Structure 1
Amino acid sequence: MGYKRHPKKRNVDPSSREMMYNKSRESILKKAAELCNFDNTDVGLLMFSPTGELTSYANKGRVEDMFLRYIEQRDDSDGPLENEEFLCQGLKHLKFEAEMMERMDRVEALESRLNELNRLKYIAEEKMRFYKPDASKIHSEAEAHYHQQFLTNALRKIEKLKAKLLEEEASPPNRTCDGASTSSGVGSS
């Protein structure tokens, strides 16, 4: 008793048809990837959804490269290929467009990263301005007070840290039961 295939009927509802296409598309792409991995086969695949959305898959390079390779490897005994030159030009144009789109995406990603780095640099410069305020850029009493308070707080933190370090240097190391000394100095855990 073997597997019996039931013919599928065309679905009339556009949303169900799109949903069915999406499920089938994933299955077909998975099978194409398996074929490439297990059988060391070059696979190129083009699919159009019911709404006209293109899905392409190529395990090596681009689909356009695979079609160009097919055209180059054909011999005349396969029969004539209609509009072969037009097809080659179109594929080369598509390949060029895809490469340009990839480059544009990379440039946009780099620009976005540059903008983020510039934003972080600006924030860091603003923070550094408080440690080394330029008196000529302080234009109000409130700004002057804010800078003074920031520096006063920083000095207090430094004085506390200095007192703690001096205290640790002055205190003798603790002795353990086995006679080894332990220190509670900076860097010990």
Structure 2
Amino acid sequence: MGRVKLQIKRIENTANRQVTFSKRRNGLIKKAYELSVLCDVDVAVIMFSPAGRLSLFSGNKSIEDILTRYVNLSRRERGRLHNEEFLRSIADKLKGETNQMFQAMSPLSADFEHVKKIRQEIVNGESQMEEVKNRLRIYEGDLSKMTTLHGVELHEQILEETLNRLHIRKVHLLDAILVH
């Protein structure tokens, strides 16, 4: 099955239009990234979604730097866009919106760090629980499954360590009872 050739015209259904925008925006940004890496060029992409949300992409340099470079070109080199003040105002507005986005994201990044720490604690807890389960299997161990001398010696060592800890705990409890 091949792809259906889409007629290039405005998509009337709002939901379909938003989905198409999202997919094509990601594709366009991916292509811009590839172009910037493969050809070592400065690329800036500025898009506004149908809902008015800003999407930005720039390669190695910031969008502001690329726009400033463009504004500083001579009129002949620049081509069709001639309004420097307009471009400067856009660059200033983008700087402001970028700063607002980073400020809005800073609490999110703190939350993200907190979530990362919690996830790490969960992973640590799960590994400790797995270790405890493995130790418990030794106590419940089926002797017929111990087929090597090394395995039997390992089980014996673990049981002896546990017996020693149990003995120390018993002595500690006896001392506590005698003191009271």
TM-score by length of 1: 0.47
Task: Determine which structure has more spread, i.e. the larger CA radius of gyration.
Answer: 1
In terms of fraction of residues, the more helix-rich structure is 2
Question: TM-score with structure 2 length normalisation?
Answer: 0.49
